Amino acid sequence: MIWLFRSMYVMILFTGIIIYTGLRLLALSRLFRPSLKKRFFWPFYLLFSYSFFIFAILRLDRVRLIRSLMVYLPIFFLYLFSFIFLFDIISLVLFLWRRKKQQKKGVENRPVMSVEIGIALVLTLLVLVYSTFHAQVIKTAHYSLNFAGSEHIRIVLVSDLHIGPTVGKKWVSAIVDSINKAEPDMVCMAGDIFDSGTEGITEAAEIIHELRRISAPLGVYACPGNHDANRRTRSIDEIYSFLSKAGITLLADEAAPVRLANGSPDMCVVGRRDARPIGLNSTRLPLQELKNVAVQNMDLGSVNPFIILLDHQPIELPEEAAAGFDLVLCGHTHKGQVFPGSIFTCFIYKKTGGTHYGHWQKGNTQAIISSGAGVWGPPLRFGTNSEIVVIDVSY
β-pairing, 365-369 vs 358-362, is: antiparallel
For residue range 13-53, what is the model confidence (pLDDT) as tens digits?
888 999 999 888 877 665 555 566 677 788 888 888 887 77
> How many other C-beta atoms lie within 10 A of the C-beta of residue 324?
17
Does the predicted TM-score (pTM) go above 0.75? Answer: yes
pLDDT of residue 7: 57
Question: Among 367, 285, 303, 277, which residue's Cα sits nearest to residue 330?
Answer: 367
Domain ranges of the chain: 2-133, 139-394
pLDDT of residue 62: 62
Mean pLDDT, the chain, whole residue set = 85
pLDDT at residue 1 tops 50 = no
Q: State the amino acid at position 92 in one-letter form.
A: L
Question: Among 263, 161, 264, 270, which residue's Cα sits nearest to residue 214?
Answer: 161
**Cβ contacts of residue 330 below 8 Å, gap of 6+?**
159, 190, 310, 311, 312, 313, 314, 317, 367, 368, 369, 370
pLDDT of residue 295: 76
Distance CA 353, CA 343 (A): 16
φ/ψ bin of 271: left (φ > 0), alpha (ψ from -120 to 50), beta (otherwise) = beta
**DSSP letter assigned to residue 264:** P
For residue range 176-211, what is the model confidence (pLDDT) as tens digits?
999 999 999 999 999 999 988 787 788 899 999 999
Is the alpha carbon torsion for 11, 14, 18, 24 positive or negative? Answer: positive
CATH superfamily of 139-394: Metallo-dependent phosphatases (3.60.21.10)
Q: Which of 100-109, 111-120, 261-270 has the lowest mean pLDDT?
A: 100-109
Structure confidence at residue 101 as a pLDDT band (50, 70, 90): low
Q: Is the peptide bond before 379 cis (omega within 30 degrees of 0)?
A: no
Phi and psi of 329, rounded to 5°?
-120, 125
